[in-house]
Chain A
């Protein structure tokens, strides 16, 4: 399974994971009831394809809004990526904030506090 493509729904973001991509994207809103269920496939995918991903692969998160349960699942996902980066992968994590959204800024800060590796914060108009 080299491609993980989940189209966006009203409560979940679009997932565009492909080992041929330079950037692995999650884009949209995230308010699922069961965020563990939703984010588990991404963790599995990363675990399975860790060795096939491009060297300077970027994991990009561009979320308009999300519930706190998703926030927790995202921390979980990021920590999995972090562990691989700490074990030698040369990937990076990019947190995209659309407009000057205070809560996304704060979420980025919280991520940065919880992770040992740097989180790139990109701002898009």
Chain B
């Protein structure tokens, strides 16, 4: 109880430094304080009960510091009640829970354990523990704490007989300037006593005596009688060792005076005094003192004192020579020693008995005693061993306790950690959900904004359309005025021409009437024939007008007849005119030849072909059309209504319109092209002045992508024949002509996509071919059926000879019959599917290979592409497509191929990917395609600026970048490799 004050002080100091914010913590704090109060009042049970409650609370809430403080309390409680092992267990809990949190609480717990170990005399462990504490002690630690540690360390060191080390600890402490501030008298006195013990041990008795007397002076101040008695007893012992018997006796008397009612101390003092007398050789006085001691021991019934006293009495009597009395005393002492089972004492007395027998010269008894002595010695050794084992067991138990406590704490900590992890995981999940929700909100907002933008755009569009219509009307009116002007001019010229013709006619008629020159008549006949051709071609109406004028010409005959010279002059003029007109038409036919494409254009880009074209007159209404454009070859057989000049005019018109429509790229399919052509021809015709003109054009149009095995066909009243290895097929077009008035019925041209194989042939022709009369009686039409039969019978292998074959067939059928109409016949052969490969790679790809590929592609692009924009597009597409393949390829292998399509390069990148990724790609393409340009720009910048990098390390920008730069995916094809795995290839073309 003496050091309770100190403990309270330590705990108080530590509790002040701790303050937790929550109410429950404050509760625990208050409870700890009240528990210590109970402890102070020695209400151990209530204090322990409360302590356990606090401990349970702290354990539940994992309040480590509260736990440690409660442990310190419980440890002290148990120690005070002698349950050292329990105390140690609590102190371990306390130490572990306060290690890194509070040095004060840690020290409290540690010291509690140190004291227990001290009580249990487990020195080794205590030395370790104190050493640890000493090294961990901060410079600011109070002298009280420091002193405790040093004191127990020194005590433990003495316990293992290392007085020298112990003295170092103590002297270090004593030399400190603040030692005098040590306010625990108990500790201070004990430390000083340790020093004295050391001095005694070192035989520095003078110094020891002085020190102990100093100590007595300071202790007298507190009036601690018991302790003073102890000190005086001690100083008396020292004096006795020094040989100053008077002083010894004096101090023993002093001690006695401070212990008037303490019989134990009294008897011990008496024994001490008797020993002084023995040393001073006053044996009688010694015996008297011993008698007194025996009396005191009798009161206490203390066998140890009795045994000690009897032993001394026996020794004195033996010395005096009263051997038998001595033996009796010795026997009495032996009995008492046996009663308390004190082996060393028994040994000592037996040795005395042996010596007495020796003096008595009874050798047998000596032997007997000696034997007993030996037995006792071995017994004592055994006892020592037993004690040592017990101590070792104790240490083991403590260590086990420590281990189990530690593992318990560790598992608690792990649980805690797990709990924390789960908690943070849950928090993360919550955050993710919140994020998802907010994302959805953002997406919703975006959708709303987009809808708004679209509706605004629609409004703008409709406004724009009405503007456009207005503009168109104005434009049309302008054209109308211009046309009217031109028609005026034309009709003026016509009237002039008519006048001329009239004059010529007049003279001609006169010549007939006069019958003057037959030669002239012949000439005239020929001229008439040429005129017939010319005029039927140019204007049939002129003839009617001529006939109409004949009558009136006759009236003028008489006037002309009078001037034959004039007539011959006109005749010459007529000849000249005739020549002019015919040569003009011949010249026009040359123009047609120049304008209409040469058959050699068909060849190349996977195709071979020929054109058979025959005009009925010099100029033709039928035309072959060939155009290679944007990766496609367009071929058409066109038949304009009628023949001769008018049809040829229409054919020129049709040619340029068709050319224009395809080159503008506004029509996606062949049917659209025909529809567009129809619209263009109709638009002009529908104007008031041209209502009477018939515009009707039949077309068979095909479009073949370069080097690809497919063809698209659209026909306006014309069919298509495909010749394959295993047969022929005639495919009918839409049964309406372009430009025809179709009434109110809505119509649409259809198109058909047909797959081809290498070697397949395609035939397009006008009705001039299958309407040709001929055969056996020259009155049969060739017909589509015969055409089909003929195509079927053609030699599959020999396409080079095909043109001659067709020509021969046609001429053979016609024989002597005149050609029925203009005729065009076009043959095509899909010759090759392979465009030359200019770059190829197939294999595994990593970052380095990827970089190498890009570099090689860059060189290719620089070499092959002239178009700057196209070059940078292809470089970017190569980088992004390869990057994508690298990131998403399931087996990190990729195929890259670049083909030269003549006017463009085709890049194909293929790789295997998870179906899921492929679907995402498709979805993204669809999504981006719906965005307007500004939307796309906004999204691009937003992605650059805000969005995170995705889990594949990409930024999700590649595809968007491609689409916003206007890349058209020519083809995205996919094959299922196996479940959830897809091989897909992306094809993009780049203009050279």
Binding site for B on A (CB under 8 A): 9-11, 29, 31-37, 65-69, 71-73, 75, 101-103, 110, 113-114
Contacts and interface: CB of A to CB of B under 8 A. Distances in A.
19 contacts: A9-B851, A11-B847, A11-B850, A29-B854, A31-B847, A31-B854, A35-B949, A36-B949, A37-B953, A65-B858, A65-B876, A68-B880, A68-B954, A68-B960, A69-B883, A69-B953, A69-B954, A71-B955, A101-B872
Contacts of B852: 10
A31 B953 contact: no
Interface string B957-981: 1101100000000000000000000
Contacts of A32: 847
Contact of B875 (A11, A65, A110): A65
Contact of A72 (B847, B876, B957): B957
Contacts of A31: 847, 850-851, 854, 879, 883
Nearest to A74: B944
- Looking at A10, A36, A37, which has the most chain B CB atoms within 10 Å of its CB? A10
A75 B958 contact: no
A110 B942 CA distance: 11
Contacts of A37: 953
B945 interface: yes
A55 B238 CA distance: 84
Contacts of B876: 65, 103
B851 A67 contact: no
B945 A33 contact: no
Interface string B406-425: 00000000000000000000
B948 to A, nearest CB: 10
A113 B941 contact: yes
Nearest to B849: A10
Contacts of B401: none
A65 B879 contact: yes
A95 to B, nearest CB: 15
Given A67-B879, A72-B949, A75-B944, A33 B958 contact: no
B872 A68 contact: no
A102 B848 CA distance: 26
Contact of A11 (B851, B944, B955): B851
Interface string B841-875: 00000011011101100100000000011001001
A90 B875 CA distance: 36
B949 A67 contact: no
Contact of A68 (B869, B941, B945, B961): B961
B953 A11 contact: no
Contacts of B99: none
Contact of B955 (A9, A69, A103): A69
A35 B852 CA distance: 18
A69 B882 CA distance: 13
Contacts of B255: none
B209 to A, nearest CB: 71
B991 to A, nearest CB: 15
Interface string B120-155: 000000000000000000000000000000000000
Given A10-B848, A10-B851, A29-B851, A35 B868 contact: no
B941 A35 contact: no
Given A68-B955, A114-B944, 8 more contacts: A9-B848, A31-B851, A31-B854, A31-B879, A65-B858, A65-B875, A114-B941, A114-B945
A106 to B, nearest CB: 9
B858 A68 contact: no
A67 B945 contact: no
A37 B673 CA distance: 53
A72 B872 contact: no
B943 interface: yes
B887 interface: yes
- Looking at A35, A65, A114, which has the most chain B CB atoms within 10 Å of its CB? A65
A66 B851 CA distance: 10
A103 B961 CA distance: 11
Given A31-B850, A110-B944, A114-B944, A102 B868 contact: yes
Contacts of B949: 35-36, 69, 72-73
B957 A68 contact: yes
A75 B855 CA distance: 24
Nearest to B962: A68
Contacts of B851: 9-11, 29, 31
Contacts of B945: 75, 114
B872 A103 contact: yes
A11 B872 contact: no
Given A33-B953, A35-B953, A67 B855 contact: no
A61 B879 CA distance: 19
B880 A72 contact: no
A102 B872 contact: yes
Interface in B877-917: 879-880, 883, 886-887
A9 B880 CA distance: 19
A35 B958 CA distance: 14
A102 B960 CA distance: 18
B893 to A, nearest CB: 16
Contacts of A36: 949, 953
Given A10-B855, A68-B961, A114-B945, A33 B872 contact: no
B869 A67 contact: no
A102 B872 CA distance: 7
Nearest to A36: B949
A68 B883 contact: yes
B894 to A, nearest CB: 14
A67 B958 contact: yes
- Looking at A29, A32, A33, which has the most chain B CB atoms within 10 Å of its CB? A33
Contact of B957 (A9, A29, A33, A71): A71
A37 B953 CA distance: 9
Contacts of B847: 11, 31-33
A69 to B, nearest CB: 5
Nearest to B848: A10
B887 A33 contact: yes
B921 to A, nearest CB: 15
Given A31-B879, A31-B883, A72 B943 contact: yes
A31 B975 CA distance: 29
B401 to A, nearest CB: 50
**Closest 4 A/B residue pairs (Cβ):** A10-B851, A68-B957, A11-B851, A72-B955
A85 B941 CA distance: 22
Nearest to B846: A33
A75 B943 CA distance: 11
Contacts of A101: 872
A42 to B, nearest CB: 16
A102 B953 contact: no
A96 B941 CA distance: 21
A114 B938 CA distance: 11
Given A31-B850, A65-B875, A102 B869 contact: yes
A101 B873 CA distance: 11
- Looking at A10, A29, A69, A75, which has the most chain B CB atoms within 10 Å of its CB? A69
A103 B876 CA distance: 8
Nearest to A79: B945
A28 to B, nearest CB: 10
Nearest to B957: A68
Contact of B944 (A33, A65, A71): A71
Contacts of B855: 10, 29
A17 B336 CA distance: 96
B793 to A, nearest CB: 57
Nearest to A37: B953
Nearest to A103: B872
A67 B886 CA distance: 12
A113 to B, nearest CB: 6
A8 B953 CA distance: 20
Contacts of B941: 110, 113-114
- Looking at B847, B886, B958, B961, which has the most chain A CB atoms within 10 Å of its CB? B847
A40 to B, nearest CB: 11
Given A33-B953, A101-B872, A102-B872, A67 B880 contact: yes
A11 B957 contact: no
